[in-house]
Structure 1
Amino acid sequence: MTRKPEGPLRKGWTTGACATAATRAAWQALLAGTFPDPVSITLPRGETPSFDLVKSETGPGWARASIIKDAGDDPDVTHHAEIIVTLRRAGPGHGISFHAGPGVGMVTKPGLPIGVGEPAINPKPREMMIAQITELAAQFGVATDVEIEISIPGGAEIAQKTWNPRLGIIGGLSVLGTTGVVIPFSCSSWIHSIHRGIDVARATGRTHVAGATGKTSESAIQALYGLPDDALLDMGDFAGGMLKYLRKNPVAQVTIAGGFGKLVKLAQGHMDLHSSRSQVDMDRLAETARHIGASKTLCTAIKTANTARHVLELCARENVTIASIIARQAREAAMATIDGACAIEVVIFDRQGAMIGRAGAFEQHAPQ
């Protein structure tokens, strides 16, 4: 995860907001013959941003406008992507329809807010674009019979850096954004993807999912159980975001996998495991070690250790199996958060992917 810079951070605009502004510009060009540039829209919470057009093209029965997405100071993979909207007049009674152009994905799995076979243009951006079409149609006295096609050059390549392939969104990016505003380092898109991963797992009948803190632990837990990709939740540091959603949207078995340092934080009650938002309490960790037989000398060393990894090394020298007790404590913290909705397992791996601690083990099964 990119580290948050110091000082005030600049907000940005979602792909949905950019597509909405481009839609308004292209529709106005179709109806009035001229593009508004810049084009202004009103977002759901009342903001009124203006966007400069990159493309402004027309032909018989169609108009096209595009906007370069500005995500502000957020490390968004779609920052500076070009959002292109092409509008085409449709026959009477057609209404408003949405289409995926190059770089916009198609939904292939159930459980997402958009149905299978639909372009990955989420409900709120659709609602925002429909509002622009409806408003201008009323102003010019015409019907709202129009096709809206959204394209994002390079979107298929950018999408490989997102969770879309795992969620069953194939061929490109999603057009997202419930408010139209990107809040820098809010991590809302990450947590949103965790939630959608749970939705897809439930909709496809998965009974066992796993959330991991990183790639090593994810690969290790996938190999242990033979889990398919869509049973893997990109939990990262957001244990709380995953567990709280699972509490209301349960899956029968949930494995939490991770490295020792991250899961010490979970064991100590932290639900956000990022280094800037939670820290390991070394005194508490030393007390945990004391309860399982660590010497006074070892406990003193733990209190002054540099990192959790250092603690693990110190304990290994005295054959104190601290990872096992941390796995148990982390499971207890997770179970308290999930309030009995799911069965919980916690597995701790070292940096080479070897299992060093486990609590609440599930029966290993054939690949789902």
Structure 2
Amino acid sequence: MRELQDIPNTPLRRGYTTGACATACTKAALLSLIMQQEIKETQIQLPIGKIVTFRTKLISLTTKDTTYATIKDAGDDPDVTHQAEISATVSLTTTGAILFKRGNGVGLVTLPGLEIPVGEPAINPVPRAMMAAVCKKILSDHKLEKNGVTITISVKNGEQLAKRTLNSRLGILHGISILGTTGIVTPFSAASYIASIEQGIDVAIANGKTELLINSGARSEKMLKALFPEIDDIACVHYGNWIQETFEKIHQSPQITKVAMGIMLGKAAKLAQGNTNTHSGKTTWDKKFIYQLAIEAGYPEDIAYKVLALNMAGRLKEIFTFTDQEKFYQKLLERCHYYCQKIAPNVELHLYLLNNDGHHIARTL
């Protein structure tokens, strides 16, 4: 997963989930199969009740099966599947059941801990329910209630797109997941990131892990992994800016007994003051607080006062040498540890302050 991007300071356009796109294609394909006519656009109802229209493209039409595609529009969200081609192939059966199959570019679930059983295509429950609902409605409208439908979802270049996600770490191989709970993509949504945190912890637990390695993103994880080479990727979780929600999930998961947390200086300066959401749009570091922290750590006024002239927390290294012995950083880590342990008091927590050059400071207080 990429490091978090800054949220643009402009109005943001919403988009549609892969699940909504797959549902639109499924509806167009089934209607086209039954009527033997081309469907150029179709409307679906999203789980939030909104009716939306999708343009659909006919890929193939026979009396046996039909395939339609649409281009996913993620709005202004930096989604790896933005502009991806999602397609659905449908065929009628005599079983009366709605079956889902994995086409090219859709992931296969290979590890326990997810909402979908091992061996199933990575099509989440809400998209499945959406597709099943439109199929049942169409079958009923055309007096074909005794028939079933086989739905095969594909994503063009999905296997390549999945390399830019954490799917493989979650045991989802060979492609992306078909996702969505509302049908809408909210740009830079905290809900989707928090869901990925919770999912990652669930998968780690389901695969017998009791120790987690948590970091803000891929860069800091690489640094901390050098200290813990024995920790499997499946036990590594990116908390992004959502420290509160990460530790709440850990607290709700008694199977997790030990956590090693890596944190960069800028986020640590915010967390030390009790800000457990460290996004730059939500919180800023407080120079007066950091100044007071330096005083509490025993530094003279003339040294601590230099903090007030800094414009970035990362520049604290210009005042305090980045070493384990530097009292300021130990005081900073002590405060960070306090707020994390306050949320999850039963877990053994080890904190590591990370520098851009790969060096680290372990909490020793």
TM range, smaller chain: over 0.9
Code of the residue aligned with 2:109 in structure 1: it is: V
188-197 vs 288-297, which deviates more? 188-197
**1:333 aligned partner, one-letter code:** Y
Asked whether the equivalents of residues 96 and 144 of structure 1 are also in contact (C-alpha less than 8 Å), the reply is no
**Shift in Å, 1:316:** 2.0
C-alpha displacement of 1:6: 3.0
Runs of 5+ unmatched residues, structure 1: 361-368
Distance 1:261 1:187 in 2: 20
Residue from 33, 36, 41 that aligns with 2:36: 33
What does 1:180-195 align with in structure 2 at a 5 Å threshold? Answer: 180-195=183-198
Give SS of 1:66's match.
strand
Query: 1: CA distance between counterparts of 2:106 and 2:188?
Result: 24
2:114 aligned partner, one-letter code: L
Quote the Cα distance in structure 1 between the aligned partners of 2:147 and 2:361.
Answer: 61
TM-score (ref. length: structure 1): 0.93
CA deviations over 1:290-348 (Å, ceiling 9, x no partner):
1111110111111221222222320229974211111111111011122x242222111
Q: Secondary structure at the match of 1:41?
A: strand
Residue equivalent to 2:244: 240
Q: TM-score scaled by structure 2?
A: 0.93
Deviation at 1:354, TM superposition (A): 1.7
Within 2, Cα distance between the matches of 1:276 and 1:335?
25
- Does residue 287 (structure 1) correspond to residue 289 (structure 2)? The answer is no
**Which residue matches 2:6?**
3
Partner Cα separation in structure 2 for residue 341 and residue 291 of structure 1: 28
Give the corresponding residue for 1:117: 119
Shift of 1:359: 5.2
Q: Secondary structure in 2 aligned to 1:49? A: strand
Matched-pair contact (CA < 8 Å) for 2:36–2:63: no
Stretch moving more, 26-35 or 151-160: 26-35
Amino acid of the residue matched to residue 136 of structure 1?
I
2:319 is the counterpart of 1:314: yes
Q: Contact 2:106–2:158 (CA<8 Å) still a contact in 1?
A: yes
Tell me the distance in 2 between the aligned counterparts of 1:168 and 1:110.
8
C-alpha contact 2:39 2:58 (8 A) present in aligned 1: no
Cα pair 2:33 2:63 within 8 Å, conserved: no
Structure 1 residue identity aligned to 2:100: F
Aligned match of 2:351 = 346
**Is the 1:57–1:64 contact (alpha carbons within 8 Å) kept by the matching residues of 2?**
yes
Matched, 1:146 2:149: yes
Q: Which moved more, 1:3-12 or 1:198-207?
A: 3-12
Q: Is the Cα–Cα contact under 8 Å of residues 201 and 231 in structure 1 kept in the other structure?
A: yes
Q: Distance in 2 between matches of 1:317 and 1:329?
A: 17
Equivalent in the alignment of 1:366: none
**In structure 2, what is the Cα distance between the partners aligned to 1:216 and 1:263?**
16
Q: CA deviation at 1:195?
A: 1.2
1:255 aligned partner, one-letter code: A
2:341 is matched by which residue type in structure 1? M
Secondary structure of the structure 1 residue equivalent to 2:67: strand
Contact 1:133 1:144 in 2 (8 A): no
Question: Which amino acid counterpart does residue 327 of structure 1 have in structure 2?
Answer: L
- Residue 336 (structure 1) aligned with residue 339 (structure 2): no
The match for 1:202 is 205
Q: SS in structure 2 opposite 1:315?
A: coil
Report which stretch shifted further, 243-252 or 39-48. Answer: 243-252
Cα distance in 1 between the residues matched to 2:322 and 2:49: 60
Q: Secondary structure at the match of 2:161?
A: helix
1:144 Cα offset (Å): 4.0
Structure 2 residue 258 is the aligned partner of structure 1 residue 253:
yes
What does 1:1-368 correspond to in 2, within 5 Å? 1-90=4-93, 92-93=94-95, 95-142=97-144, 143-225=146-228, 226-250=230-254, 251-316=256-321, 320-338=326-344, 340-358=345-363
The amino acid of 2:158's aligned partner reads: G
**Inter-CA distance 131–350: structure 2 relative to 1 (3 Å threshold):** same
Structure 2 letter corresponding to 1:106: L
Shift of 1:130: 0.4
Aligned 8 A contact 1:349 1:355 in 2: yes
Contact 2:270–2:278 (8 Å) recurs in 1? yes
Summarize the Cα distance change of 1:249–1:35 in structure 2 as closer, same or farther, 3 Å threshold. farther
CA distance in 2, matches of 1:336, 1:151: 45
> How far apart, CA to CA, are the structure 2 residues paired with 1:272 and 1:119?
34
Whether the 8 Å contact between 2:38 and 2:58 is mirrored in structure 1 is no
Letter paired with 1:100: R
In 1, Cα distance between the equivalents of 2:364 and 2:88? 51
Task: Could you tell me which runs of 5 or more consecutive residues in structure 2 were left unpaired when the two chains were aligned.
Answer: none
Secondary structure in structure 1 of the residue aligned to 2:68 = strand
1:60: how far off?
3.0
